[in-house]
Chains A and B, each alone.
Chain A
Amino acid sequence: MHKEAAIREPLILGHKTYHDITNDVCHPIEDKAPRMWYLLFTIAAIVGLYGVGNILYLLGTGIGTWGLNKTVGWAWDITNFVWWVGIGHAGTLISAVLLLFRQKWRMAINRSAEAMTIFAVFMAGLFPLIHMGRLWLAYWVLPLPNQFGSLWTNFNSPLLWDVFAISTYLSVSLVFWYIGLIPDFATLRDRVKNPLSKRMYSLLSFGWSGRAKNWNRFEIVSLVLAGIATPLVFSVHSIVSFDFATSVIPGWHTTIFPPYFVAGAVFSGFAMVQTLMLIMRKAFRLEAYIHTKHIEYMNIVIMVTGSIVGVAYLTELFVSWYSGVEYESYAFINRFSGPYAWAYWSMMTCNVFSPQLMWFKKLRRSMLFTFIISIVVNIGMWFERFVIIVTSIHRDYLPSSWSMFYPTPTDIGVYIGTIGLFSVFFLLFARFFPVLPIAELKTILKSSGESYKNAPDDHH
């Protein structure tokens, strides 16, 4: 059995038994939902429906209901897309990369992080669809057989690469997440009394019997999927960044983008995981499983990726000056001193300065501080995408076509709406799915559980 040094902080606090773990995770599903859940769900649903309404208005009337213009062809739509994709990065990183690196602390957070990933990718995928002038022809981006016409897609277009990258990422993440859920669904199937629920969980658990063969295959599939998912973590956001990096627009045309986007994505993804975890551990009384140590680990990731992002920002500035290209230089001078300087400095404050506070141990172990920073980081990352997209194109080569972007209520409505929809999905997940991986947690109880860890060996 795996043995862990005593000086390491335990990952499961208190005197938990295997049964306690099962109970702690399953109770919220089996009990009546608290009033708070209904309240949150109602708010989320209203906001989500408002967003759907806005999307329908957009589709019915035209992209003109957004604030875009001849110069700024993308603004909040693609900002939101990149933002959500970025958020969607943490789940797979946590479940795949951290799995390969045998980071046991991931057990507490991977299930929700993966769920978050999937819902975030849903939200992300929405934007490239609705931002199209003619959504009803969206299937033309797929390389379909000739029955659909003799036209083939343009494999030179990074937007097409996006289609493949995002859809691959979504399917792999979804499968990975679901595979992990199967043993836990089986546990629920065995516990629930309501025949309908039983039937549902029975269906969802794919006839899991808990035999050694099941576990063996489960472990193998998880490892294989982790292997497949790992490169995707890096490819997705690299490819998203190609949308900009392969263009000719100063401020977009930057070779630094792929690593910088991936770091930014991990940065924002972890921040979103923090936000959700901190709420959930309180709501579901999971303090024993998600505690200071987990938060601290994640804060360290945020600090490191935040620093990478900060270095990237400074590198961009330096290169724009060093290149001697007047358009390039101006694009960056305009970023920090032009009409969108407020967005640039919001981004700098949120993404570069605020995570540096994590160097203080006291702060990075503070729940309240972490919660605030996690939100600040996501605000900052939204601004980062806005700054890259809008401040680059609003003033490009010909000063004659320089313009500004001002959002309309529809821009705002669609964005807020996706946050609502995301919350609806996440609340449903929290209500009906085991939010922690029961089976996986049990594997670390004896090595990293507080009561076992500090007990003398002969107790076994």
Chain B
Amino acid sequence: MSMFENNKSIEKMNTNEAYFESRVDMSAPSLSVDEFLADEQTRESSTNRRDFLKFLGFSVAAATVAACEAPVTKAIPYVVKPEDITPGKANWYASNYYDGNTFASIMVKTREGRPIHIKGNTDFGFGGGGISPEIAASVLSLYDNERLKAPLISGSQSTWADLDKKVMDGLKNAGEITIVSNTIISPSTQMLIAAFSEKFGRVNHIQYDAVSYAAIRSANEKTFGLAAIPSYDFSKAKTIVSVGADFLNGWLLSNAYRVQYAKNRKPENGSMSKHYQFEANMSIAGANADERMMVKPSQYAAVLAALAEEIGASTLGVSSGEFKSNAQIKAAAKDLKANKGASLVVCGANDEALQMLTNSINNTLNNYTSTINIQDDVNLFKSEDAKMERFVSDAIAGKVKGAVIFMGTNPVYTHPKGKALGEALGKMNMTISTASWNDETASKCKYVAPDHHALESWNDFAPVRSFYALAQPTIKPIHDTAAAQESLLVWMGEATRAGRESRAYYDYIRKSWAANISGRLGADANFEEIWNLAVHNGMMEGPKAEAQAPTFNAPTQVKPAQATGSGTHEVVLYTKTSMGIGLQAGNPWLQEMADPISKITWDNYITMNYQEAKDAGYNVVMDQEHGASLAKITVNGVALELPVIPTPGQAKGTLGLALGYGRGENGEAIGRGAFKTKEYGGYEEKDGKRVAIGANAFKFVNFNGNYHYTGAASLSKIEGTYPIASTQFQLTAMGRTSIVKETTLDAYQNDDSTGYNLPHMLMTHHGPEPVSKFDLWASHPVEHIGHRWALSIDLNSCIGCGTCLIACQSENNVPVVGKDEVRRGREMAWLRIDRYYKSSDELAIGTKKEEFSFTALEKNIDENPTVVFMPMLCQHCNHAPCETVCPVAATTHSNEGLNQMTYNRCIGTRYCANNCPYKVRRFNWFNYPAYKKFTEINPSQDDLGRMVLNPDVTVRTRGVMEKCSMCVQRIQEGKLKAKVDARPVVDGDVTTACADACPTQAITMGDWNDTGSGVRKASEEKRAYQALEEIGVKPNIWYQTKVRNHSNEELRKHQQAVAAKRKHDIDKHAHNHAEGHNDHH
């Protein structure tokens, strides 16, 4: 089985015309390639596509340039309409995204030539087309006004001609040329760098990743003789054990792992993977685990050794210490052994010894032919840690004499010795950066040759050995930038600049594909066909090496690297699902996205064990006015001051701290959203420079052969509190039974569903009747006639990653409001993900142990709680409480079941929001697109930023209420499309942005009145329930009960008792009723 099941081989493609046609339809219906591919004559030609792009580019550039200079106040029709741009109609293009840390295949939506929305390429994309919030939000970074608009020489704006001349002279005379780049996964760029090296002859190329996984490569080299990162397949693993690896967020190719993981988490399929997580921070993977155990990073080695002992693998001489015969490890080992060949053990430490130990376990479990494919290895993460470290030391020591070129990397920010490196760079006179922003490194370089944004450039990628992806531009370069590769070509003397029209790198990629790649994709394939198809689909897949078990050569003794230094705590550095390594710290969508675990926006902070924080006197109760306590955290002699967030599930003695913050510490122009703003607008400033949000945790990374993201830390409380902008302060669901429902896999498979999904009954004269039978109001006709749009949200599939949040924001023009407003409880998100921890007074989230222990429920959170993520949005109630109370009928029910908001009619009494039991309505407290408080952070106040707005959705004015519309514009589009095709709307024609973006397909959208639709079927599942069913508002949203694959006998007994009692009640009444009936006669 292929890891990428969606893909078809090239041979099949060329022999099957029907398939060819269908593919065209499925992906991008309006792409011009359709037309010219269908036409034999044009198929011969290689220029048509580029002509089209010229047209596209020209019109876009014209519109863009006009928009940059003055606000467009009038809509001007095209004099000559570009062939493929129909005003009001979106064009979708397949492309790929790679930023040095994360890779995904994407579909870009453009309107009138502007990219406005990104979603995963689920038809053909890598790893099922899973994307992350960062990728979805990257479309906004395209329009960041702080992106470099022209090349810089010594910090001042210059011209390409000038820069090229000086750089070429410099390179000619420089001694050694060092290229520091992120991991290059572009085959063409690799070829180019090789050519560049050959041309200059003295090139030292260092690949350096901000977050390194070098230990996995070197461990595989030592144990298997293959310096590779293998492809993992979580969908095939029945037992997953992760030791400190947050594989659902950030760890390696987590965009793909999310998709794989979710496939095996649907209990309807009969089985469900069992996931054990051993970790210090409460990570996304940990929050989704069936069994989670809190361990310190220094204990990872012992945990792995204990696991190895239990399953009979070599421990490589590592002691299992205190974990020997640990019950939880035994349980995990038992499951692993039972699923030999269908299990997976991963470890998050960038530590060679631990990775070798992990290999030993996986090898014993025969996983190398099933869940792990080391032959189809990953091309990402080739960080050369030692080489980089040597370069940095040399640079600081003044020993780097020649030229240095930084490509796609920012070591002044991401390297622990970045500050010193920056100072050293300042003293060198042949430093070049190709950064798109004048970032920490670029601002220290003499020459900056700004690269395009990913959406403006051609590129190719090979994320794994067998997969070739093409990125195509979806807009002509907005600014006077040039592809970094083109710059190299120019400096080599092999190309000339041609401004925005430049095709240098495009031609180079085609040349490289013709020479090296097309052959691998099919021996007798026509290059143009392959090329056009790759552009259209965004990818081509070559033959994939079958997984073969490599020979395992166990070293007898390995030595885990211990955390250096000493301190009271161990710190674990992690990446947030929104911020990642901080590449888009200037992106306000990402800054404002609530962290899935902490629900905090616009900040980084130290996470600390809840009880420990309480005991040490840190503030544990926070709200709008009561912030967090501040503390000083010191690692390796570097100190940072940050707020402390008590976090349930954080291992005692450990601290968590996110990377990616503290960008622009010296006021570098890295994006409008990266800096603190004041209460009434304007940036907070210190010494004339803007103050960065958060602090740079990369300073805590330590080097010990590899870069390590854990270390010894000491923490001391400092005076004062710090305001926290969180979207949710409450930790538990308060034992409330009709919000979240949870059960175990055993109960789901064997017991009566009434136990865990008890329908709310009302006692009547005729016996208990389900609440859904009662109507205070006349039943809505929509419930049975025409369309009834509905959603089903699977709490089991939702991993909380938050991709839907950004998709919703991008689709619906949801305003950014900034930290101060979020702190005041006024975030505008139409869709939020509620996070509930289990309280020790609950058997499971939503099941109380006993009645009337309200205050206890609020406070006694489990030391190591289970977590439920619950996406919450407008429930589109058929008896909507908001609709009855609006005095002017601004919110009404559509005849398709939507609760719709008429912004024009709204006078802003907020009565609807008060009366909403789900609290999903959002009020425009200010005029976000104009009020000065939001100038710095709200993209719609920026001429360029405004380009990201979806023209199909109104930008709301102040004083009106807004909320989820179930993407009514998409519903309308789907209906119209069906109408044009003269057919009824079928399942799949319409989907919401959130459902479309969800990598785990937790959200299903469709027509409930269509009895064959997915959402209708989901609503009839035995897991389906409606939140707050008993208040009788009859939502159009169903939730699916969370099923945890663990044993919870107490809960199961309770649920069995509930089911038995309900059955008894109904029987008893039926009996009484029958008797009464007889008496009557």
A interface residues, Cβ below 8 angstroms from B: 61-64, 67-74, 128, 131-134, 137-138, 140-141, 151-154, 156-160, 163, 243, 246-249, 326-327, 329-330, 333-334, 337, 393, 396-404, 406
Contacts and interface: CB of A to CB of B under 8 A. Distances in A.
Nearest to B858: A399
Contacts of B1027: 398
A406 B911 contact: no
B19 interface: no
B825 A247 contact: no
A248 B1031 contact: yes
Interface of B: 623-625, 728-730, 732-737, 739, 821, 824-827, 832, 834-836, 852, 854-855, 870, 872, 881, 884-889, 905-911, 913-915, 917-919, 921-927, 931, 958-961, 1027-1028, 1031, 1033
Given A249-B917, A398-B739, A400-B872, 5 more contacts: A62-B924, A131-B909, A153-B887, A248-B1031, A399-B730
Nearest to B922: A70
A308 to B, nearest CB: 27
A326 B737 contact: yes
A396 B736 contact: no
B959 A330 contact: no
A69 B884 contact: no
Given A133-B906, A403-B729, A70 B884 contact: no
B907 A68 contact: no
A398 B834 contact: yes
Contacts of A62: 924-927, 931, 958-959
A182 B961 CA distance: 47
A154 B872 CA distance: 28
A404 B624 contact: yes
Given A62-B959, A133-B908, A247-B881, A403 B825 contact: yes
Contact of B825 (A69, A138, A159, A160): A69
A140 B923 contact: no
Contacts of A402: 729-730
A301 B905 CA distance: 45
Contacts of A157: 884-887, 911
Contacts of B913: 70, 73
Contacts of B919: 70-71, 396-398, 401
B826 A64 contact: yes
A397 B1028 contact: yes
**Residue from B735, B889, B924, B960 with most neighbouring chain A CB atoms (10 Å):** B889
Contacts of B884: 154, 156-157, 246
**Residue from A153, A159, A247, A398 with most neighbouring chain B CB atoms (10 Å):** A398
A70 B885 contact: no
B887 A159 contact: yes
B739 A397 contact: yes
A133 B923 CA distance: 9
A400 B927 contact: no
Contacts of B959: 62-63, 132-134
B736 A399 contact: yes
**Residue from A69, A152, A337, A402 with most neighbouring chain B CB atoms (10 Å):** A69
A138 B959 CA distance: 12
B624 A406 contact: yes
A333 B623 contact: no
A404 B914 CA distance: 14
B914 A249 contact: yes
A452 B168 CA distance: 117
Contacts of B825: 69-72, 403-404
Contacts of A64: 821, 826, 925-926
B707 to A, nearest CB: 37
A61 B887 contact: no
Contacts of B1033: 248
A138 B907 contact: yes
A243 B914 CA distance: 11
A21 B576 CA distance: 81
Nearest to B1027: A398
A155 to B, nearest CB: 9
A249 B832 CA distance: 21
B886 A154 contact: yes
B624 A69 contact: yes
Contacts of B736: 326-327, 397, 399
Contact of A134 (B854, B906, B926): B906
Contacts of B734: 330, 399
Contact of B733 (A248, A249, A399): A399
Nearest to A67: B824
Contacts of A137: 907
Contacts of B733: 399
A438 B739 CA distance: 65
A70 B737 contact: no
Contacts of A326: 735-737
10 contacts: A62-B925, A70-B826, A70-B827, A71-B825, A153-B889, A397-B918, A400-B836, A402-B730, A404-B623, A404-B825
A371 to B, nearest CB: 35
Contacts of B888: 140-141, 151, 153-154
A334 B730 CA distance: 14
A156 to B, nearest CB: 5
A63 B917 CA distance: 22
Contacts of B625: 404, 406
Nearest to A326: B736
Contact of B914 (A133, A140, A247, A398): A247
Nearest to B855: A337
B681 to A, nearest CB: 12
The 8 lowest CB-CB distance pairs between A and B, nearest first, are A133-B908, A133-B959, A64-B925, A69-B825, A400-B834, A73-B910, A401-B919, A154-B889
B31 to A, nearest CB: 41
Contacts of A327: 736
A243 B910 CA distance: 12
A243 B732 CA distance: 30
B881 A69 contact: no
Nearest to B728: A400
A64 B922 CA distance: 12
Contact of B908 (A63, A151, A160, A404): A63
Nearest to A157: B887
Given A133-B906, A154-B889, A248 B923 contact: no
Contacts of A337: 855
B918 A398 contact: yes
Nearest to A399: B730
Nearest to B826: A69
Given A62-B927, A63-B959, A134-B959, A401 B728 contact: yes
B885 A246 contact: yes
Contact of A68 (B910, B918, B958): B910
Nearest to A408: B824
A153 B888 CA distance: 5
A231 B824 CA distance: 43
A73 B834 contact: no
A140 B889 CA distance: 10
Given A247-B915, A326-B736, A397-B917, A133 B887 contact: no
Given A133-B923, A134-B908, A401-B728, A154 B887 contact: yes
Contacts of A151: 888-889, 905
A402 B885 CA distance: 22
A152 B728 contact: no
A330 B1028 CA distance: 15
A68 B824 CA distance: 8
A397 B918 CA distance: 7
Given A70-B923, A134-B959, A327-B736, A159 B885 contact: yes
Contacts of A160: 887
A313 B889 CA distance: 34
B843 to A, nearest CB: 16
Contacts of A138: 907
B889 A152 contact: yes
Contacts of B737: 326
A339 to B, nearest CB: 8
B1003 to A, nearest CB: 18
